[in-house]
């Protein structure tokens, strides 16, 4: 009986010569069979109303053919997008810019946000001939994508506490990104980094080239200590630095203010986005910078990004009986803080869940400035509605509790109502409201 040390790590591809199907034609036949069975599983999932089937397809493919991820990301140009907030929207914006030049069939992407190894393999398996891939990438998968896929560009948006029972300490994620960038050197990506995030800055500085973006918004509650030396960071108006080492905020190569993108050389471009919020203007600026790095003309990139409406259902309007509701998604304190700013209706509906995809720990509710909702009525819904109600009580925000999502959305609301939800609740609401993508 072989020892455990001889076995491949869980979730990692086995060496080709350790697999039962050998090399060459046999390997390709096995891979194609795995993709075919994955497609059947996806079809069954959609028929059963269980979602798009992307994730189950990827799980089947990688289970039957473990090298799928490594093989499918190889041999193509890759633009990767990661960070705690904004991955999906930024990926859609960058994909639109690149497809405007390269054509739809030449750019493959995981458009529905399935961003683990399985989701990436699933997406690429549907267009293996595409020479270019735009990949939303889970934070934990980024180091492997850097070392195995050698992306040309990596957009690094931010680090914030998210799904604490899975990601744990965000500094460890930043260090893994940094180590991968050091290891790949000039074979690694150009890093497009958010200047307001010290952990992104520390990680991106390890790239052979970094392009810095002032996204016009910064979340500082997860960045009290210097990731390099541990000193307490000093924050001033629109600036930060470490008193104990050279780490500090960089001068931006691209700055967004309102709808205007500018460079230190005096160049200016205007955004015309259909996705709302200052955070999405920051996301768009990162996508714009990455598109230019990938060879897209600036105006072509801007025109293409203007066509992005509701990436993976975000900001879509669902219909719930007589109620029309604009559906917003936020998964952590940084996302909630920004999303609250664009909620226009009164009342508003806040939906909280704590399933595996959300993270079981909802203590982050206490880090969100719900006081911004003062003067509005809030309808608390979802499995953790009571937890939210306690937080709103301390914020002195008027609220009511309707735990059932369907009942909450079928209320008597004047006009269109804004709904902000965590991931699982958001998916349920999309399905209930007829929102597809």
User: Catalytic residue at 418?
Assistant: no
Q: How far apart are CA 107 and CA 127, in angstroms?
A: 8
Cα distances (Å, whole numbers) of residue 133 to 95, 125, 294, 316, 364: 9, 11, 12, 25, 34
Q: How far apart are CA 203 and CA 223, in angstroms?
A: 13
Give the N- to C-terminal CA distance of the chain in Å, as an integer.
49
Q: How far apart are CA 261 and CA 263, in angstroms?
A: 7
Burial of 179 (0-12, 13-18, 19+ CB in 10 A): middle
Q: Is the four-CA dihedral 331, 333, 338, 343 of positive or negative sign?
A: positive
Q: According to the annotation, is 430 in a ligand binding site? A: no
Q: Which of 239, 297, 344, 361 is catalytic?
A: 361
Q: Which of 102, 157, 176 is nearest to 133 (CA)?
A: 102
Q: What is the largest CA-CA distance in the chain?
A: 69
Q: According to the annotation, is 245 in a ligand binding site? A: yes
**CA dihedral of 75, 79, 82, 87, whole degrees rounded to 10:** -120
Helix runs in 249-349, H state only: 278-293, 298-305, 333-340
Q: According to the annotation, is 242 in a ligand binding site? A: yes
Binding-site sequence positions:
226, 229, 242, 245
Binding-site sequence positions for Zn(2+):
226, 229, 242, 245
| Residues annotated as catalytic (active site), given as ranges | 361
């Amino acid at each position: 009986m072989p020892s455990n040390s001889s076995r491949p790590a869980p979730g990692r591809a086995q060496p080709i010569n350790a697999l039962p199907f050998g090399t060459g034609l046999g390997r390709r036949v096995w891979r194609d069979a795995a993709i075919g069975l994955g497609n059947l599983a996806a079809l069954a999932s959609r028929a059963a109303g269980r979602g798009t089937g992307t994730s189950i397809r990827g799980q089947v493919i990688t289970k039957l053919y473990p090298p799928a991820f490594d093989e499918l990301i190889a041999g193509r140009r890759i633009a990767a997008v990661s960070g705690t907030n904004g991955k999906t929207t930024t990926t859609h914006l960058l994909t639109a810019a690149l497809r405007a030049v390269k054509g739809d069939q030449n750019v493959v992407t995981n458009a529905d946000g399935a961003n683990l190894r399985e989701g990436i393999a699933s997406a690429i398996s549907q267009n293996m001939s595409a020479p270019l891939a735009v990949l939303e990438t889970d934070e934990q998968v980024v180091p492997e994508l850097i070392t195995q896929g050698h992306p040309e560009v990596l957009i690094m948006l931010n680090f914030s506490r998210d799904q604490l029972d899975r990601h744990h300490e965000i500094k460890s994620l930043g260090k893994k990104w940094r180590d991968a960038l050091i290891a790949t050197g000039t074979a690694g990506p150009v890093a497009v980094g958010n200047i307001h995030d010290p952990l992104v800055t520390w990680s991106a500085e390890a790239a052979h080239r970094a392009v810095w973006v002032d996204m016009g918004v910064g979340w500082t509650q997860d960045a009290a200590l210097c990731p390099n030396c541990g000193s307490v960071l000093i924050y001033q108006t629109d600036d930060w630095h470490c008193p104990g080492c050279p780490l500090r905020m960089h001068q931006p190569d691209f700055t967004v203010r309102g709808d205007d993108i500018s460079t230190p050389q005096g160049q200016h471009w205007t955004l015309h986005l259909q996705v709302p919020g200052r955070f999405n203007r920051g996301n768009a600026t990162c996508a714009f910078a990455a598109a230019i790095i990938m060879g897209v003309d600036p105006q072509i990139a801007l025109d293409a990004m203007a066509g992005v409406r509701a990436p993976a259902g975000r900001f879509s309007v669902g219909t719930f009986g007589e109620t029309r509701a604009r559906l917003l998604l936020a998964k952590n304190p940084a996302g909630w803080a920004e999303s609250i700013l664009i909620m226009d209706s009164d009342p508003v509906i806040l939906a909280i869940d704590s399933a595996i995809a959300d993270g079981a720990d909802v203590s982050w509710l206490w880090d969100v400035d719900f006081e911004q909702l003062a003067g509005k009525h809030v309808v608390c819904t979802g499995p953790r509605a009571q937890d939210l109600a306690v937080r709103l009580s301390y914020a002195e925000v008027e609220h009511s509790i309707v735990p059932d999502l369907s009942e909450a959305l079928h209320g008597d609301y004047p006009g269109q109502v804004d709904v902000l939800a965590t991931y699982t609740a958001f998916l349920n609401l999309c399905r209930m409201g007829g929102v597809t993508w």
